[in-house]
Structure 1
Amino acid sequence: MTQSLLERASAYATAKVLEADGCVSRLPEALQTVVVINTTQGIIDNGGLEYFYESDFPTNLPYSFFAEAFRRIGVESVASCIDESSRMFPFPEPHLHEAKRRTWLDSVKDDEAHPFVHLSRKACGDELVFQKLAEYVDRHRDAFGAA
């Protein structure tokens, strides 16, 4: 069975981020986008926005960096969920404060009426994400070497 263009581009981008010592922001934008979308949506699909915010990412990039990747592929719904939920933290620069994030998440994650829970459910399992990512890769295929 042959790999799809998206699978080959994902493998290529992942190898490049490893060469950049895990610093995805050092990669060209097309490669950043593939790595960020695959990683972020995988985490969200596994446990919602709560999982996304539970741990620090290498180099502690602001959450707007992740939202912009979703915008680049044309998935405003998930981008907006990340933007809106990141503004709910009751302290500035939440990407820099893992312990504070975890404490706040523990206080809201089980409250079915909380807007955070609603945003998390909206972002989780959005099937449009990988369809749009495949279209993005197709438009930027030259960025992925021989992928």
Structure 2
Amino acid sequence: MPDRKTMDDEPCPVGRCVDVVGDRWSLLIVRDAFDGVRRFGDLQRSLGVARNILSDRLRKLVDAGILQTQAASDGTAYQEYVLTNKGKSLFPVVVALRQWGERHMFERGERHSVLIDKHTGKPVARMVPTDKEGNALPPEATHVRKVS
């Protein structure tokens, strides 16, 4: 079976991002990394993913500079996967997906997790794109401009 086409030569930032983190497992690995899950076995238990798939996604995330490996923090022979600065900059993406899911994927009153601000103890405010004055920016108020 031929390899699928990548978006490496395309000018679309969304397409290029989806190539790297657009599959289920990659995004869930990144989510777990934000939650402090660092070891292969812990990721596998958390996600319930096959070892070969987890190995493949971890390798791709490391190759993309989203995760890096380091010696285990407890001095054991294990290696840990930690977010790089590039990986940490995915935080708004994960929060946006989480908040969209909270609003649209659960029935009213259905239990789900909520992202909490450690300093206030309150749910993180809903993310909304804004204009330069801080006003909410609806999709119809934007357009894509191709740049060279």
TM-score by length of 1: 0.31
Kindly name which structure, 1 or 2, has the bigger radius of gyration based on alpha carbons.
2
More helix by share: 1
Greater relative CO (CA pairs within 8 A, separation 6+): 1
More strand by share: 2
